[in-house]
Structure 1
């Protein structure tokens, strides 16, 4: 199933699935620590970010779609350190999708969060939030492509 994923995201999914359930949670926390801070031009402007209301924690995201034939996607997240699970999944999406061509981001299966093997370790509500983050990213990419940005 991971074969349909872009290589950098497929590698992350493989890393998660090679671990025990407890180790998967620890890896998610590592991704939480690795989530980059917002760039200065976005940090003081919450109105430029979209809240993922399905998440139990206040998570916000935005993206930019570059120019050129491959239209690379740059992702930006704001997630509190006190919400390591949510922040960790944002980190997974950032590392797995940032810089990829828009078409590759749009091709990621909607069930990708479930491919991490966390469904028994994380509540269904949190899994829904993770899936919603991916959905917001894909919607924003489609909107950016449609508007010619």
Structure 2
């Protein structure tokens, strides 16, 4: 796992709002795609040792590796793709979800996808891959909360 950094925004909701504002600056989708590519280029490299099947996100046409870390109070994710546009999508997803509590992750719907128009401008395979990444992140958050749940067999003690 790469060393976690603090999220740019205080909450996932604020991150989504800021992403929508940033994308509003661009006049057309050529500029927006270029911005996505630029965001993807800024992702920290993922060591080859972490590019394994254990961290591979299935359901993506491109190769995507997503490495979770942390606790239920703060989950951090590192991720990368072999596709520049998908790496940009990863940068957006990490901005919204990485460094957040499992509860905040599970409570946050990815509204930024619709608000910036991604849902209309991604190919079906990229949309499926994005959905797979989001499902994987939520699955890790759910797993963290499940491991924290009190054991009902001994009265929750």
TM range (shorter): 0.7 to 0.9
SS of equivalent to 1:26: helix
* 1:101 counterpart residue number: 101
Counterpart selection for 1:66 from 66, 71, 84: 71
Give 5+ residue unaligned stretches, structure 2.
1-10, 150-157
* 2:136 counterpart residue number: 136
**Higher alpha-carbon deviation: 101-110 or 130-139:** 101-110
Q: CA deviation at 1:77?
A: 0.9
Count of aligned pairs: 138
CA deviation digits over 1:9-60, x for unaligned, max 9?
321133224422222111111111111223x6xx414458432221111101
SS of equivalent to 1:57: coil
* 1:148 counterpart residue number: 148
Instruction: Tell me, in whole angstroms, the C-alpha distance in 2 between the residues paired with 1:87 and 1:44.
Output: 19
SS of equivalent to 2:77: strand
Counterpart selection for 2:32 from 20, 24, 28: 24
Counterpart selection for 2:77 from 75, 89, 100: 75
CA deviation digits over 1:67-87, x for unaligned, max 9?
6xxx0110111322xx11111
Give 5+ residue unaligned stretches, structure 1.
none
- Preserved contact between residue 65 and residue 74 of structure 1 (Cα < 8 Å): yes
SS of equivalent to 1:119: helix
Instruction: Tell me, in whole angstroms, the C-alpha distance in 2 between the residues paired with 1:7 and 1:104.
Output: 12
SS of equivalent to 1:44: helix
Instruction: Tell me, in whole angstroms, the C-alpha distance in 2 between the residues paired with 1:48 and 1:148.
Output: 26
Counterpart selection for 1:44 from 26, 41, 49: 49
Q: CA RMSD in A?
A: 2.5
Instruction: Tell me, in whole angstroms, the C-alpha distance in 1 between the residues paired with 2:39 and 2:67.
Output: 18
> TM-score when scaled to structure 1?
0.78
Larger radius of gyration: 2
